Amino acid sequence: MRRIAIETERDADQERQHRSATDRVAERLGRITVFGHRIDDSWADLRRRRVPTHWTNLFGTVTLASLVVVTVTGLVLMFFYTPSSADTIYAGSYAPLHGATVSQAFASTMHVTFDVPGGVVLRQAHHWAALLLPAAITVQLATTFFTGAFRRPRRAMWVLLLLALIAALASGWSGYALPDDMLSGTGLRIVEGILLGIPVIGTWLASILFGGPFPGRIIENLYPLHIVVFPGALLVLAALRTIAAWRHGPPQFPGRGRTPENVVGVALIPTAATRAGGLFLVVTGLLLLVSATVTVSPIWLYGPADPGNAGAGSQPDWYTGFLDGALRLVPPGWEVVWLGRTWTLAILAPLAVVGAFFAFVAAYPFLEEWVTGDRGDHHLLDRPRHAPTRTGLGVAGLVFVGVLWAAGGADIIATAFSVSIEHVITALQVALVAGPILAYTVTRRMCFGLQRRDAGLLRHGYETGRIVRLPGGGYHEIHRPLDETELARLAMPGGARHADRPPLDGAVGPWESRLRRGLRSYYNGGVIEAEPAEHEPGDSFPAVDAPVSRR
């Protein structure tokens, strides 16, 4: 035994001596401890970790690609941009503006566009990525909402994602004004009017932002916000959400072999990482391709900003269109005089409505938990049809924002369809009130119908179109049974879903108890019972007794 041990130790020494330098370096690096964990152990954990494969998971990669492109291009543009409102005489390569008095910010942006090799692609890649970033985050919010991925233990992740969207909107808006062209100048004039319309503190806010009479030092004030404050907040929020996602693990849709205790999917390393890397490269390549072929923000056509002029038909970037639309839909003459001041409701009402909307979206996970009493952890996602009330509210919110967004282009709609702008505004005002209500009602009823369809499939299976004659002379259609995968996908533990919710007792006040009981009853909506089983004697498909929830 001793001889065997000596030979084994000798063989190990020879193996260590014959290993390459890279192997020895990798071994030493693997022994390094980072945040209390060895790199080898962390790498092994990454290889063991599983990730569900579903299309809703793709938008995180799209968001990451947009964030990387906008960050890299922004860092390069910093070396050429001059954040100054001081006047200068333009003498660049664009001949129509020779001799014009422009700001140094506008002149430096023109220099990047026409005099720096690849500068126009760089600028447009930065702009297109900034347009795609809030879109990807918005789709993430929508999929998270409709699948119930915001429930415990991921409520904080929902708030972080919403704050990331707000940071992306603020970052895009602050960069929108930096070229100092006519279009951005028109947008800044609107912002100044909004700030001045806020009672008591409006003049103070405008003075801080602009640094004096319009346009003041707005470029110098917005530049640090655009390159440090808002992007820094966005990166911090993204990092915090990534940490929370790693801690809680990915949620997954119900299916065969999927339980709250496991994750069915592919390995994070290398399969999921390779797929994500491929999608990352595809999105980055498409952004660069679009940037090289499709013009965006042609400031040479808009011309330099002028405090005394405004561009006709000017439109904001798509992600702030709903804010402009909220201002346009306020009826004229909404002003009151109170405490010796004029309160302009045409400004305060849109600000209050949009602010209340974002506050409701941020608080929704907590409100739903308060109503339903569901305080358990959820690692299995809902199909939208299984939560009709939530799905209806989500569609109503999308319609609400969509109407505001359409109102931001009301003048373009009126021009394109040759109708009166007043008629367009009136129609959008009606749609803003009636549209969400109608969308909520229709969506909720559609979810109930889809639940009844699933209940029929669970009971009887799929229709085959094969009609057989029974011995008694009647006719019956043969149904194809569902396989285990389809059963696991369609079936939902309706009764078990509410089993762990505590009943309302005297621990709360009578008014709150009655309110929560009423809201819970309406939110849950009862239970849709499956129809009695109607199978032929030869059918091997058993009846399914599990009810389908109408929540």
Establish if 281 belongs to a structural domain.
Answer: yes
- Please tell me the predicted confidence (pLDDT) of residue 548: 40
Q: Could you tell me if 463 and 477 are in contact, meaning their C-beta atoms sit under 8 angstroms apart?
A: yes
- Please tell me the predicted confidence (pLDDT) of residue 211: 86
Q: Do 273 and 419 belong together in one domain?
A: no
Q: What is the dihedral of CA 14, 16, 21, 25, to 10 degrees?
A: -170
Which of the pair, 472 or 179, is modelled with greater confidence? Answer: 179
Which of the pair, 32 or 65, is modelled with greater confidence? Answer: 65
Alpha helices in 376-420 (DSSP H): 388-407, 410-417
Q: Do 523 and 492 belong together in one domain?
A: yes
DSSP string covering 502-549: PPP-TTS-HHHHHHHHHHHHHHH--EEPPPPP---TT---------EE
pLDDT of 538 above 70: no
Establish if 320 belongs to a structural domain.
Answer: no
Q: Do 292 and 397 belong together in one domain?
A: no
Q: Decide which of 286, 310, 334 is a domain's last residue.
A: 310
SS (H, E, C) 258-269: CCCCCCCCEEHH
Do the bridges between strand 37-38 and strand 33-34 make them parallel or antiparallel, or are there none, so unpaired?
antiparallel
Tell me, what amino acid is at 279? Answer: L
- Please tell me the predicted confidence (pLDDT) of residue 19: 62
Q: Could you tell me if 342 and 335 are in contact, meaning their C-beta atoms sit under 8 angstroms apart?
A: yes
pLDDT of 144 above 80: yes
Q: Could you tell me if 389 and 523 are in contact, meaning their C-beta atoms sit under 8 angstroms apart?
A: yes
Provide the total of helices (H) and of strands (E) in the chain, helices listed first. Answer: 21, 12
Q: Do 387 and 284 belong together in one domain?
A: no
pLDDT of 36 above 90: no
- Please tell me the predicted confidence (pLDDT) of residue 532: 37
Q: Could you tell me if 128 and 70 are in contact, meaning their C-beta atoms sit under 8 angstroms apart?
A: no
Instruction: Give which of 276, 271, 268, 245 is closest to 47, Cα–Cα.
Output: 268
Establish if 329 belongs to a structural domain.
Answer: no
Highest mean pLDDT among 299-313, 344-358, 523-537: 344-358
Q: What are phi and psi of 473, to 5 degrees?
A: 100, -10
pLDDT of 492 above 90: no
Q: Do 442 and 539 belong together in one domain?
A: yes
Establish if 168 belongs to a structural domain.
Answer: yes
Share of the chain above pLDDT 90, in %: 45
- Domain of residue 141, CATH code: 1.20.810.10
- Please tell me the predicted confidence (pLDDT) of residue 501: 56
- Please tell me the predicted confidence (pLDDT) of residue 502: 56
Least confident of 40-44, 183-187, 366-370, 424-428: 40-44
Share of the chain above pLDDT 70, in %: 84
Instruction: Give which of 344, 448, 441, 333 is closest to 396, Cα–Cα.
Output: 441
pLDDT of 449 above 70: yes
- Please tell me the predicted confidence (pLDDT) of residue 471: 86
pLDDT of 523 above 70: yes
Tens of pLDDT, residue by residue over 219-235, are: 999 999 999 999 999 99
Which of the pair, 481 or 17, is modelled with greater confidence? Answer: 481
Any bridge partners for residue 335, and if so which? Answer: 344
Q: Do 132 and 15 belong together in one domain?
A: no
Residue owning tokens 């040759």:
418
pLDDT of 7 above 60: no
> Domain limits at 283?
50-188+216-310
Query: Average pLDDT of 155-181?
Result: 94
Q: Decide which of 10, 28, 47 is a domain's last residue.
A: 47
Q: List Cα–Cα distances, 95 to 10, 65, 99, 119, in angstroms.
A: 79, 36, 9, 18
Tens of pLDDT, residue by residue over 86-128, are: 999 999 899 999 989 999 999 999 999 999 999 999 999 999 9
Going by C-beta distance under 8 Å and a sequence separation of 6 or more, which residues neighbour residue 91? 98, 99
Which of the pair, 490 or 143, is modelled with greater confidence? Answer: 143
The domain tally of the chain equals: 3
Going by C-beta distance under 8 Å and a sequence separation of 6 or more, which residues neighbour residue 532? 459, 543
Establish if 343 belongs to a structural domain.
Answer: no
Task: Name the band, by pLDDT with cuts 50, 70 and 90, for residue 508.
Answer: low
- Please tell me the predicted confidence (pLDDT) of residue 390: 95
Any bridge partners for residue 338, and if so which? Answer: 341
- Please tell me the predicted confidence (pLDDT) of residue 31: 59
Q: Could you tell me if 314 and 183 are in contact, meaning their C-beta atoms sit under 8 angstroms apart?
A: yes
pLDDT of 259 above 90: no
Establish if 356 belongs to a structural domain.
Answer: no
Establish if 337 belongs to a structural domain.
Answer: no
pLDDT of 65 above 90: yes
Compute the distance between CA of residue 500 and CA of residue 524 in angstroms, rounded to an integer.
14
Q: Do 494 and 534 belong together in one domain?
A: yes
Q: List Cα–Cα distances, 53 to 145, 272, 280, in angstroms.
A: 19, 8, 16
pLDDT of 204 above 70: yes
Query: Average pLDDT of 163-170?
Result: 96
- Please tell me the predicted confidence (pLDDT) of residue 18: 59
- Please tell me the predicted confidence (pLDDT) of residue 389: 93
Element containing residue 335 per DSSP (H, E): strand 335-338
Helix (H, G, I), strand (E, B) or coil at 44: helix
Task: Name the band, by pLDDT with cuts 50, 70 and 90, for residue 309.
Answer: confident
Q: Could you tell me if 329 and 429 are in contact, meaning their C-beta atoms sit under 8 angstroms apart?
A: yes
- Please tell me the predicted confidence (pLDDT) of residue 50: 87
Q: Do 399 and 544 belong together in one domain?
A: yes
Establish if 340 belongs to a structural domain.
Answer: no
Q: Do 171 and 72 belong together in one domain?
A: yes
- Please tell me the predicted confidence (pLDDT) of residue 499: 42
Dihedral sign from CA coordinates of 344, 346, 347, 352: positive
Q: Do 448 and 422 belong together in one domain?
A: yes
Q: Decide which of 262, 281, 310 is a domain's last residue.
A: 310
Q: List Cα–Cα distances, 503 to 113, 521, 526, 547, in angstroms.
A: 65, 12, 16, 21
CA within 13 Å, CB half, 357: 20
- Please tell me the predicted confidence (pLDDT) of residue 534: 45
Task: Name the band, by pLDDT with cuts 50, 70 and 90, for residue 257.
Answer: confident
Q: Do 94 and 28 belong together in one domain?
A: no
Compute the distance between CA of residue 521 and CA of residue 518 in angstroms, rounded to an integer.
5
Q: Do 39 and 118 belong together in one domain?
A: no
Residue owning tokens 């940037």:
291
The pTM assigned to this predicted structure is: 0.86
SS (H, E, C) 103-135: EHHHHHHHHHHHCCCCHHHHHHHHHHHHHHHHH
Task: Name the band, by pLDDT with cuts 50, 70 and 90, for residue 482.
Answer: confident
Least confident of 10-19, 290-299, 405-414, 465-474: 10-19
Mean pLDDT estimate for the chain: 84
